[in-house]
Amino acid sequence: MKLAPHSKLVVIGDSISDCERARPVGEGLFGAVGKGYVALVEGLLGAIHPAHAIRVVNMGCSGHTVLDLKNRWQTDVLDLQPDWLVVMIGVNDVWRQFDLPRQTEIHVSPETYGRTLDELVARTRPRVQGLVLMAPFYLEPNRADPMRHRMDEYGALVRQTAARHDALFVDTQAAFDAVLQHMHANAIAWDRVHPNITGHAIIARALLGALGVPL
């Protein structure tokens, strides 16, 4: 496993990470890390590598885009001094272009998204032992669908950023695509964005796989 014993793993993102985590810092007892993939990751790390005593912190915030992450990066990432950082952002950056198409002032273009993500990663990579960038996803198997096509563009930007900065890349979309060959999207996420427990397990499995945790 890539995580050294007693490592601190911080996860930052949007509602897919948030999942009712505690405020101001999502760490501790009684569901403080939320009810989604972050909780599954914490539980499986404890079950598979109990001696490592990995510390997991959830700093997801519902509705956030990469620009929101930039505004809280100092307090929610750097000040927490993680050993490893996981970033999954982009769903809202894309979604707002489709559900609120006339409110262009809140849209995050691919250029802005890629530039901002790159700036945050460049600022942080020298300060952490490891960094994982997870692609945003949309549970639509038709790749020609406009929102799916757009999401794939943003996922490609995440992959490029990871390659530039020696970060691990998790193709979350590909992980879901494999399952969508056997299940309808509605059986995983009612709105094709916010997953149920099966969807969160898919994300957790993909992340743990990148971290070298056997499942």
pLDDT in tens, 102-147: 999 999 999 999 999 999 999 999 999 999 999 999 999 999 999 9
Statement: residue 158 has pLDDT above 90: yes
3-state secondary structure of 82: coil
All residues at 6 or more sequence positions from 148 whose CB lies less than 8 Å from its CB, including other chains: 138, 140, 142
Catalytic residue among 99, 109, 166, 191: 191
Measured distance CA(153)–CA(170) in Å, rounded: 15
Catalytic residue among 76, 93, 194, 200: 194
Query: Is 14 tagged catalytic?
Result: no
Q: pTM (2 decimals)? A: 0.96
Number of neighbours of residue 148 by Cβ within 10 angstroms: 19
Measured distance CA(53)–CA(8) in Å, rounded: 9
Statement: residue 38 has pLDDT above 90: yes
Statement: residue 86 has pLDDT above 90: yes
Identity (one letter) of the amino acid at 61?
C
Strands (E), the chain: 8-13, 55-60, 84-88, 130-134, 168-170
Query: Is 191 tagged catalytic?
Result: yes
Query: Is 118 tagged catalytic?
Result: no
Identity (one letter) of the amino acid at 51?
A
- 26: exposed, middle or buried (Cβ count in 10 Å: 0-12, 13-18, 19+): buried
The arithmetic mean of pLDDT across residues 151-159, rounded, is 98
Catalytic residue among 15, 17, 76, 200: 15
Q: Please give the CATH architecture assigned to the domain spanning 8-210.
A: 3-Layer(aba) Sandwich (3.40)
Two tokens at 89?
């952002």
Statement: residue 184 has pLDDT above 90: yes
- 118: exposed, middle or buried (Cβ count in 10 Å: 0-12, 13-18, 19+): middle
Using the 8-state DSSP alphabet, how is residue 189 labeled?
A: B
**pLDDT on residue 215:** 83
* Contact between 179 and 188 (Cβ < 8 Å): yes
